[in-house]
Structure 1
Amino acid sequence: MSLDDLRNRIDEIDLELVKLLNERARVVVEVGKLKSRTDGPIYAPDREKQVLAKIRRANQGPLPDRTLVAIWRELMSGSFVLEKPLRIAYLGPAGSFSHTAAMLKFGQSVEYEPLADIRSVFDEISKEHCDLGIVPIENSTGGGVIETLDALIETDVKVCAEVLMAVHHNLLANCLLEDVEKIYSKPEVFAQCRNWLTATFKEAKTIPVASTARAAQMAAEEPNTAAIGSKIAAELYGLKMICENIEDIANNITRFLVVSKEDAKPTGEDKTAILFSTAHKAGALADVLEVFKKYNINMTNIESRPSKKRGWEYYFFVDFLGHHTEERIQIGLEESRQHCLQLSILGSFPRATELL
């Protein structure tokens, strides 16, 4: 076939795709009508996982799975609008890593609400001003995000999904490297770039701010000032990429949580997040962990935070494999409560197995 013949064939296929996509959309509209009568949630993480898994299984190439999954995420984003426009809260302003994660997860068609700090994301969900929120919870280099851990203690939201995203940090500025006097970014970002900063700067002052996008905004407004942030932030705020990929560890991954008023239904490949506190006595935490071992509850993460109510009392955050509706886990959690001052289920959600 000639080049023109091949292009004509592509045009024909494109027209068929448009027809099929709109046929799919008409079914989505009917789904939305049913959900409105039953008051069902528009975003169903369990259904999302099933659909994307089915697409991967059906794919025989030559397109890679990643390409098809990205297309289907955009289809689902458009479907949300047809059912009911979703409003997603994130740590802003635009161009933050949270913004990037939200866009990769929920696509271009939903509404986004940038907020000044992580606690505000939780508050907007609690007040039902937003449908979903996305917040960073831990980084493979820097560990847990304190603001998110504290907000999980103090609010009533549920975790309904998680997102894994590779994060690359860049020094952004409109001056020469040797002229940088101040550097803005999140505290966790400074921790992830500590070795590079120590080797590169002798006198530049690092100043923590609420988000990397806010750091970029400030760097764009002040002379001899830089920010550590994303390529998108550089483009949005008119900054130059002075140095790229300055994170100390190349395989730098941040895990984000999607929070809402409800958690997700079981998928067969789930995780559960819980929060508990123990009495200040020898072996209290070990007693809880022994129960987990007894019921084969496999932990994937554990973090601790001071309770702020009593001295030397701590809250523990634990993620483990499985859904809280499973009988084995229900029995194990009930027995664990005997060793806790408090134990709350923060939510069960599909386990993220691939980077966005």
Structure 2
Amino acid sequence: MPQDESEQQGKGSGDDADSGAPGVDAAARLEQCRVRIDEIDKRLVELLNERAGVVVEVGNLKRGTDIPIYAPHREADVLRKALAANMGPLPDRTIEGVFRELMSGSFALEQPLRIGYLGPQGSFSHAAATAHFGSSVEFADIQDIAGVFMEVRRGHADYGLVPIENSTGGGIIETLDAFRDSRDVTIYAEVLVTVRHNLLANCEPGAVKQIHSKPEIFTQCRRWLSAHYPNAEQIAAPSSSRAVMLARQAVEADPGAGVAAIGSELAGQIHGVNLLYQDIEDNPNNITRFLVVAKQAARPSGDDKTSIMFITLDKPGALVSVLSVFERAGVNLSHIEKRPSGRENWRYTFFIDAQGHRDDPSVAYAIREAAAHCQELTVLGSYPRATRIL
């Protein structure tokens, strides 16, 4: 018998009900993708450990020699090759992050490294040290920049990381003075890090009366502070993370104190201080340049900088004579700073960055010629130029 209309409609409805099949098919394909990812992950782990086996062999070959565990020229070469091989879809930043952590694990296999930085935990130096060296090394938070130099000089830290200049606020005075006073450490590498400043406090925004931070950070947030907290007292702290700790302690002692700090979100999380305002820096492209200091010299990488410190002779045109030497040698100078010499009033120590390695013939020539116009001239170090911002 022919089916009636309602039966035919029912059969159609049943077909529609089976339209979930594409969803079922998608779920099956999703499961297949996950199985493939698991297989790839297994191969990745096997390859990583195969690489680690070679790293252990390298460490054994280095043992008993003066070959350093951390070699900036080799790090730059590894990253350059990895990024050149990246055809996507992963961005270069991800690939770099993976390889930095991979190299961090390699350091631990070859020889555990101890990295000193301006603490306490949560400082911008802490964040920069972690971004550059990875999480598999040991970190030592040191209370001032001069202390970082001292720990490296004494061999208590293998390397130190210190801020040298900010794109908004300029040179970091404590670091320049530490180079002036510490002649037995050298610059080994440089690191560029994007810096985001935040107002942190355990009180309401309208209750803030005092703000603690490093003087350089106040400079980097000057316009924002003038607009939002023109009457708040600004109190200098030795580091941004120390400022965050002081803000917490002040409010714990007196809930009505109205004490805030400018620091990193990481410092707020570590020290239990709430985020009031995010990204308060005047320049959204706020970048701080850090230097890695060591007791050994870095080998040429093919794309280097050389930092030089000098005091000119007391004669007319002495500074011009020094700078002219580099011009005649065809060596570009990318940075210049000055600080009081600390020995005689109105005498200054100058700091310059030259493009190239001290072993390059043109740079070596310029250094020799410049020394003739100087009372003192010290090469602080030649090191690979940082080309990426972390």
Q: 1:206, 1:217 → 2: CA distance?
A: 16
Max Rg structure: 2
1:192 aligned partner, one-letter code: Q
Give the percent of matched residue pairs that are identical in Structure 1 and Structure 2. Answer: 54
**1:165 and 2:197 correspond:** no
**1:7 and 2:34 correspond:** yes
What CA deviation, in whole Å up to 9, does each residue of 1:18-75 have, x standing for no partner? 1000000010001001111323111000000000000011111111111111001000
| SS class of match (1:103) | helix
Give the deviation of 1:328 after TM superposition: 1.3
Structure 1 unpaired stretches of 5+: none
What CA deviation, in whole Å up to 9, does each residue of 1:305-341 have, x standing for no partner? 1111112111110011100001111111101111000
| SS class of match (1:324) | coil
| SS class of match (1:94) | coil
Give the deviation of 1:282 after TM superposition: 2.1
1:91-240 alignment runs, 5 A limit:
91-155=118-182, 156-223=184-251, 224-240=258-274
Tell me which residue corresponds to 1:292. 326
Give the CA RMSD over aligned residues.
0.9
Give the deviation of 1:279 after TM superposition: 2.3
| SS class of match (2:163) | strand
| SS class of match (2:141) | strand
| SS class of match (1:222) | helix
Mean Cα deviation higher: 215-224 or 76-85: 215-224
Return the match for 1:324 from 340, 344, 358: 358
Q: 1:268, 1:96 → 2: CA distance?
A: 32
Give the deviation of 1:181 after TM superposition: 1.4
What CA deviation, in whole Å up to 9, does each residue of 1:167-222 have, x standing for no partner? 11100001111111111100100111111111212322111011000011111111
Give the deviation of 1:289 after TM superposition: 0.7
| SS class of match (2:64) | helix
1:273-284 alignment runs, 5 A limit:
273-284=307-318
Return the match for 1:337 from 360, 371, 374: 371
Return the match for 1:39 from 52, 66, 80: 66
Q: 2:167, 2:102 → 1: CA distance?
A: 31
1:280–1:312 contact (8 Å) kept in structure 2: no
What CA deviation, in whole Å up to 9, does each residue of 1:237-267 have, x standing for no partner? 1111111111111111100000000121111
1:279–1:313 contact (8 Å) kept in structure 2: no
Q: 2:333, 2:66 → 1: CA distance?
A: 34
| SS class of match (1:14) | helix
| SS class of match (1:38) | coil
TM-score if structure 2 supplies the norm length? 0.90
1:262-277 alignment runs, 5 A limit:
262-277=296-311
Return the match for 1:305 from 314, 336, 339: 339
Q: 1:243, 1:31 → 2: CA distance?
A: 48
Give the deviation of 1:303 after TM superposition: 0.3
Q: In the comparison of the two structures, how many residue pairs are matched?
A: 356
